[in-house]
């Protein structure tokens, strides 16, 4: 049952993202490499979520390993970089708090998980209701 609930929540998040991208005309596209004409190269999808939260790291059900942090120009909060710990998964995320509204955390995901969610999804419904989705290309 846990795995089924996790997959349903993950599907809800991805359907919400896809609906937004289709509505805004920013669905994932393929671009040509400037070095190799005629060959198509797939571009990694990037999705940004703004969530009002007192904590920087929201539990999205996946396990992450922090691999970096850097100061960002014109922002007093650093940006943190994470990779999914699931073997073979290349998804990355960046987390940064907005300086103009310290209550908002921006989480940017790059890529799509190719595996089921790893943790219980009981608390995801409140996160979904607070998300504002943006696509950055």
Q: What is the pLDDT of residue 56?
A: 79
- Report pLDDT digits (tens) over 70-111: 999 989 999 999 999 999 999 999 999 998 988 999 999 999
SS3 11: helix
Instruction: State what percent of residues in the chain have pLDDT above 90.
Output: 29
| Average pLDDT rounded to a whole number, residues 10-39 | 47
Q: What is the pLDDT of residue 50?
A: 87
How many angstroms separate the CA atoms of 130 and 52, rounded? 7
Contact 90, 82 (CB under 8 A): no
Fold held by 2-135: N-terminal domain of TfIIb (2.20.25)
Q: Which helix (H) or strand (E) holds 17?
A: helix 2-24
Give one word for 108, left, alpha or beta, with left for phi > 0 and alpha for psi -120 to 50. Answer: beta
**What is the pTM assigned to this prediction?**
0.60
């Amino acid at each position: 049952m846990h795995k089924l609930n996790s997959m349903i929540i993950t599907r809800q998040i991805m359907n919400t993202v896809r609906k937004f991208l289709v509505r805004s005309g920013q669905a994932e596209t393929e671009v040509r490499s400037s070095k190799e004409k005629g060959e198509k190269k797939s571009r990694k999808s990037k999705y940004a979520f703004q969530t009002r939260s007192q904590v920087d790291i929201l539990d999205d059900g996946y396990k992450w390993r922090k691999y970096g942090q850097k100061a960002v120009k014109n922002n007093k909060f650093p940006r943190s970089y994470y990779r999914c710990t699931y073997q073979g998964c290349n998804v990355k995320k960046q987390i940064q708090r907005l300086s103009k509204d310290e209550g908002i955390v921006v989480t940017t995901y790059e890529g799509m998980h190719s595996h089921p969610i790893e943790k219980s999804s009981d608390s995801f419904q409140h996160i979904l209701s607070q998300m504002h989705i943006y696509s950055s290309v």
